[in-house]
């Protein structure tokens, strides 16, 4: 899906642009090989630390099998995503909703992060297709100053908020499309994909 690369127009390497909802894209030569070719959504950001979910690493584990004890998951199509290397036993979801889920945390606009079983059951019931709900095992975490330092060392490009990137139809190609856009911009070209 080409839309995500054209919607994410702005990019930066300025730490002042960091905020919840921003999208981080690892450069081709990522300093940390664990984050090579990754696209991360910042779900929480404070100067004291940050939390993110990798958007472009689907696993081979069906949601229906992994969340068998969550009502509504048995008939759910789609795969779990690897949100990051930290606490891979935890499950978090990104969910688009008109109203905030009971324990949900608003990321931006109508995008919420949920982690309680009750909210997941509600999201599974409300979202019959995978278009507005993605589930993740694990997350990415940075202590105070760590992410800012990685940005200063060239470890990430910062893109604007985008629900299209979160729910991209071809997540396995999201990184390559966004990094190509970055390279065209660096070369002085304003090509859209």
List the domains of the chain with CATH numbers.
3-186 (3.40.1740.10)
pLDDT computed for residue 186 by the predictor: 52
- Which pTM does this prediction carry? 0.87
Please check whether residue 154 is in contact with residue 27, taking contact to mean a CB–CB distance below 8 angstroms: yes
Q: Which of 170, 86, 73, 81 is nearest to 127 (CA)?
A: 73
- The better pLDDT of the pair 33, 184 is held by 33
Measured CA to CA, the distance from residue 54 to residue 136 in angstroms comes to 8
pLDDT computed for residue 109 by the predictor: 94
- Indicate whether 5 pLDDT > 60: no
Under the banding of pLDDT at 50, 70 and 90, the label for residue 50 is very high
CA angle 35, 39, 43 (to 5 degrees): 105
Under the banding of pLDDT at 50, 70 and 90, the label for residue 191 is very low
pLDDT computed for residue 181 by the predictor: 85
3-state secondary structure of 113: strand
Contacts of 33 (CB under 8 A, 6+ apart): none
The two beta strands, 79-82 and 86-96, are unpaired
Over the stretch 72-87, which tens digit does the pLDDT of each residue have? 898 888 899 999 999 9
Lowest mean pLDDT among 98-107, 129-138, 169-178: 129-138
Over the stretch 100-121, which tens digit does the pLDDT of each residue have? 889 999 999 999 999 999 999 9
Measured CA to CA, the distance from residue 193 to residue 56 in angstroms comes to 18
Share above pLDDT 90 across residues of the chain, in percent, rounded to a whole number = 64
């Amino acid at each position: 899906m080409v839309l995500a690369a054209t919607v994410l127009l702005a990019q930066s390497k300025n730490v002042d642009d960091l905020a919840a909802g921003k999208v981080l894209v690892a450069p081709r030569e990522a300093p940390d090989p664990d984050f090579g070719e990754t696209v991360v959504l910042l779900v929480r950001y404070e100067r004291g630390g940050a939390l993110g979910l990798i958007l472009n690493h689907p696993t081979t584990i069906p949601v229906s099998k992994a969340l068998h004890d969550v009502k509504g998951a048995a008939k759910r199509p789609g795969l779990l995503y690897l949100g990051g290397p930290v606490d891979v036993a935890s499950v978090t979801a990104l969910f688009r909703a008109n109203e905030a889920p009971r324990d949900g945390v608003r990321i931006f606009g109508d995008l919420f992060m949920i982690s309680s079983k009750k909210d997941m059951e509600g999201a599974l019931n409300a979202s019959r297709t995978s278009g507005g709900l993605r589930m993740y095992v694990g997350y990415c975490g940075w202590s105070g100053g760590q992410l800012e330092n990685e940005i200063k060392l060239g470890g990430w490009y910062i893109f604007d908020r985008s629900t299209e990137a979160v729910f991209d139809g071809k997540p396995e190609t999201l990184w390559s499309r966004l990094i190509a856009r970055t390279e065209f911009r660096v070369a002085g070209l304003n090509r859209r994909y």
